[in-house]
Amino acid sequence: MAVQSPVRAVAVVPPPPARPRRRRTPVTWVRRGGLTTLLFLVPLLVVFGVFSWAPIVQSVVMSFQRTNLVGPVTFVGLDNFAQVLDDPLLWTAVGNTLWFAVLALVFGYPIPLVAAVLISEVRARRGLFSALAYLPVVVPPVVAVLLWKFFYDASPSGVFNTVLGWAGLGPWQWLQDAGSAMPALVLEATWAAAGGTVIIYLAALAGVPADQYEAAEIDGAGIWRKIWHVTLPRLRGVLLVTFILQIIGTAQVFLEPFLFTGGGPANSTMTILLLIYDYAFASSLGGDYGAATALSIMLAAVLAVLSALYLKATKSWSAS
């Protein structure tokens, strides 16, 4: 299908054909369809202009301003940045976000890979396997979090504590304990996202050429050595892509801490995005928009570097 390598396709848009040089006047421009072309671009220009480009510029400007919806706007230089960097809560949030990212890698990175390799070897009803793996992804995230919040109920008759009870363990405090709250969030996030990664790996696995396996077999390789010497090297590109995607995603985790714990207990699940939200919207006295935009600009700068790496990785991946 033509949509399978969109990243590569952009490079092959042929250059516009050379047009005969003639005097260009507004009339010839309209006659050659210039106006029609522009009309086709109006929806894009309006929607992106108002809801994407302008806010991006405004965000940069606002990070140097002190403003709320009522009072006058004043330029304060780097004060907002200094204020955010001085906030002890910022470093808690950065630490928690990194902790979330590490835990998400430990739980969430190997599981989809193993599942995808196993599913790709299923002969009958492979579709059922991948559909089951993907099912949690289609459960609305808010529903998933609220459902798991009930599963995590700390009483002995909570769903997970009941299961633990069968094994003679528990009851655990799950979300109420500062030590276990973050792992509990990550567990739910992994459950909700793993299926998407499985599907990406399955597509990549389908692209491993059979003759490479055959060549390895002629050299006497067993199943493990084929995985190590053929499968994994072929997946290197996509593994890098999912790795960077996951880092970019976890750096912006919001829904889980917001709905599960609200950042608690004792700020143990306060993340960067939650802090930005709190700066801007949590106070009923009017938001500290300067601090919120300053922090989001700093986060964006870090993520932009990661995105650039990501783009480079997808390019080399689809070129291979």
Say whether residue 27 binds other proteins (CB under 8 A): no
Show the site string, 39-68: x = touches other proteins by CB under 8 A, - = not: -xxxxxx-xx-xxxxxxx-xx--x------
- The residue among 71 and 179 lying less far from other proteins, judged by its C-beta, is 71
Which residues, 148 to 207, sit near other proteins by CB under 8 A? Answer: 148, 150-151, 157-159, 162-163, 191, 195-197, 199-200, 202-203, 205
- The residue among 13 and 285 lying less far from other proteins, judged by its C-beta, is 13
Structural Rg of the chain based on CA atoms:
25
Which residues, 95 to 154, sit near other proteins by CB under 8 A? Answer: 115, 117-123, 127, 129-144, 146-148, 150-151
- The residue among 93 and 179 lying less far from other proteins, judged by its C-beta, is 93
Q: How far apart are CA 76 and CA 66, in angstroms?
A: 6
Q: Is the dihedral of CA 196, 202, 203, 205 positive or negative?
A: positive
Reference 294, options 92, 53, 90, 51; nearest CA is 90
| Residue of the chain from 30, 38, 102, 215 that contacts other proteins (CB under 8 A) | 38
Which residues, 214 to 253, sit near other proteins by CB under 8 A? Answer: 214, 217, 223, 226-227, 230-231, 238, 241-242, 245, 248, 252
Q: How far apart are CA 68 and CA 77, in angstroms?
A: 16
Residue 179: its H or E element: none
Which residues, 294 to 313, sit near other proteins by CB under 8 A? Answer: 296-297, 299-300, 303-304, 307-308, 310-311
Question: Scanning the structure block, which residue is given the tokens 């609220």?
Answer: 146
- The residue among 179 and 301 lying less far from other proteins, judged by its C-beta, is 301
Two structure tokens written together for 126 = 């492979």
The shares of helix, strand and coil residues in the chain, as percent rounded to the nearest 5, are: 75, 0, 25
Cα separations in angstroms, 40 against 2, 19, 31, 33, 212: 24, 21, 16, 11, 48
Say whether residue 18 binds other proteins (CB under 8 A): no
Which residues, 254 to 273, sit near other proteins by CB under 8 A? Answer: 254-255, 258-259, 273
Instruction: Using CB under 8 A, count the residues that bind other proteins.
Output: 122
| Least distance (Å) between residue 234 CB and other proteins | 11
| Least distance (Å) between residue 90 CB and other proteins | 15
Q: What is the DSSP letter of 66?
A: E
42: amino acid identity, one letter: V
Q: What is the DSSP letter of 231?
A: I
Two structure tokens written together for 317 = 């991946």
- The residue among 181 and 244 lying less far from other proteins, judged by its C-beta, is 244
| Least distance (Å) between residue 7 CB and other proteins | 6
Say whether residue 4 binds other proteins (CB under 8 A): yes
| Least distance (Å) between residue 88 CB and other proteins | 21
Question: Scanning the structure block, which residue is given the tokens 């403003």?
Answer: 67
Q: How far apart are CA 39 and CA 71, in angstroms?
A: 40
